[in-house]
Amino acid sequence: MNTQDAYNHFKTAIYCTAGCLDSDEKQLARELDFFQKHIRLSKMYIENHRGDISLDRDRLLELKHFYESRGIETAGGITPTLGDAYRPGYNRLFGGICYTDRPSRAKFQKAVETAASVFDEIIFDDFFFTNCGCDDCLSAKGERTWEQFRLELMTEVSENLIRKPAKAINPDVKLVIKYPNWNEAYQASGYNTESQPSLFDGVYTGTETRDPAISQQHIPRYASYSLLRWMERLATGRNGGGWFDNLDCTYIDYYLEQANLTVFGKAKELTLFCYSLLKDSVYLPPLGFQLEKLDALAGGLASPVGALVYEPHHAKGEDHLYDYAGMLGIPLELTPHFPLKQEGPLFITANAARDERVIQKMKAYLREGGEIIMTSGFIAQMTGKGIEEFTTLRGTGKTMAVNRFAVETSSCTFDQFASSEEPICYPIFDYSTNGTWQSIVAMNGQNNIPILMYDNYSKGKIYSLIVPDNYADLWKLPAPVLNRLRSVFAGNLLRYRIEGPASVGLFTYDNEAFILENFAQVPQTWSIAIPSGTALQTAAGSSPAAVKTAVLETGDIIYTIRLAPSAWAAYRLEAD
């Protein structure tokens, strides 16, 4: 491929399932013309096995030659599923393979060996898990939990059915494991982010979020960004890219948004699933238009920054809470590693309770002057396990519906009051007056309950964020409450601040570039405050420009930005 035929800052690839390419060369050529008319296609992943369909080596070589002769890279792909003929008598969700069954193991290994004999790169689609509960699996599990059994089993499968046989046939083959978007359920079906990355040559990230309201996965749209960042810190430099599709995308904007967030997360490659869904589809023309803008933008984005979110391996508890928080306009950077040094505010949810040493790590972080924001779910998980060291907050088991809020105090009375349009149900936490202090409270009649509290510990500060029963209700919080939360999470990371409603993504970079994206289904407006002596420059590929509206007594310069639904705009802070 000529360099002018590719995007400058990322590659685009299409994943072809084993049943996608059952056409003659003339038909394949017509379909390729459609793809290349609308996007700058760099690569094709050609799958040789899925369920009951397996392509033989000769057909794979034909397809490989077809695309490579037209300047398109090729790689192999495998979806580890088998049809009903394997493991008869037992039900398996989505055709997941029983890896205690010898014929099933042999069939899968043969698919791996076939792919390795043709391609120098193979990616494994996100059905590389097991959910089998047959009698043999029960026997092999023994006294272990399903989680322990499946994590260990899939590590063994990665080594003995993939790595060893593939490398025996093609020592140079690059093996890539694609992790799906449902990260907080990995451990239940055997995805092992501790052991598998060292057995594979690369990882890949599922960035498909689709429409959470109507799909069974109900994953917040911010996850198209956050999981990519977690994977980058999991396998720095080996995260191949992001993979998304058009399934359950109620609006074309939701499809395009997946591309936006994948590029915002600095993906090196965008893989579009899949060939048969996209050929002759309405999704490709607008995607091509969007990718041109995103390519222009990507050149001006340095390394992402944000409040660190500690999400350890095999974690669950407050599933995807950080993604709901990310849609409050709070920049976040997920990591599987507890930071060894103070890197700005650290967000800890109930998921962090998976780490048995988390309390000791928090103490060390605070002693170095760090700031931690921990959730009510984490407090509940760690009650009686050391959380008493940090705060007097204790859950009561009661809840309260509220729609009035108050923010900060100068003395006894709160400084600012605001209301949400709808009631929000919060758990009630008790605390010791003057032992723990209020930053945000919610009011009902003559009572108020804590929403954001803080305690001092050594040289550091620890905030406690009470989370509503329905995480999505966070987006109903009024702007003054959101603005306070943003200031706590931003700490000293940013020289600018965003004020306004929720349902917004704020993506920030260490060259003082930032992006706003409107997640709401209505137009919304925010103000951007920048310090005196600076100016707001609109980034390449972006529109509209922000409008300068005021200069405060502090010297801060205020801009206003209004965005249509699913629209984004990017800026960079520069010396005036």
> Using H for helix, E for strand and C for coil, what is the string for 222-245?
CHHHHHHHHHHHHCCCCEEEEEEE
> What is the C-alpha to C-alpha distance for residues 202 and 240, in angstroms, rounded to an integer?
7
Query: What element of type H or E holds 112?
Result: helix 102-116
Domains in the chain, CATH or no CATH each: 3-299 (3.20.20.80), 305-575 (3.40.50)
Distance CA 290, CA 323 (A): 24
**Which residues, 6+ apart, have CB-to-CB distance to 49 below 8 Å?**
18, 55, 78, 79, 80, 108, 111, 114, 115
pLDDT at 421: 96
Distance CA 484, CA 481 (A): 5
Give average pLDDT by consecutive 10-residue segment, the chain, 576 residues: 74 97 94 97 98 97 98 98 92 92 97 98 95 96 98 98 98 98 95 98 97 88 98 97 95 96 98 96 97 97 98 96 98 96 92 98 96 98 97 97 95 93 97 96 96 98 98 98 98 96 98 98 97 95 91 95 96 94
For the CA atoms of 418, 423, 425, 426, the dihedral, rounded to the nearest 10 degrees, stands at 10
Q: Report the pLDDT value the prediction gives residue 575, as an integer from 0 to 100.
A: 93
* Tokens representing residue 387 in the block: 């959380």
Q: How confident is the model at residue 543, as a pLDDT?
A: 86
DSSP single-letter state for residue 160: I
Query: What does the buried/exposed string (b/e) look like for 229-251 if buried means 16 or more CB atoms within 10 Å of the residue's CB?
Result: bbbbebbeebbbbbbbbbebbee
Q: How far is 436 from 371, CA to CA, in rounded Å? A: 15
Q: How far is the C-alpha of 1 from the C-alpha of 564, rounded, in Å?
A: 37
The CA-atom distances, in angstroms, between 301 and each of 3, 223, 240, 265 are: 21, 19, 18, 10
Residue 217's Cβ-count burial label (10 Å; 0-12, 13-18, 19+) is middle
Strands 307-310, 332-335: pairing kind: parallel
Report the distance separating Cα 277 and Cα 16, nearest Å: 10
For residues 380-409, one letter each, b for 16 or more C-beta atoms within 10 angstroms of the residue's C-beta and e for the rest, the string is bbbeeeebeebbbbeeeeeebebbbbbbee
- How far is the C-alpha of 540 from the C-alpha of 295, rounded, in Å? 9
Burial bucket for residue 527 (CB in 10 Å: 0-12, 13-18, 19+): middle
Phi, psi of 458 (to 5 degrees): 55, -130
CA 15/CA 409 separation, integer angstroms: 56
What pLDDT is recorded for position 158?
98
Distances (CA, A) of 494 to 282, 301, 375, 508: 40, 15, 23, 8
The owner of tokens 């928090």 is 362
**Residue 79, Cα to own-chain centre: how many angstroms?**
22
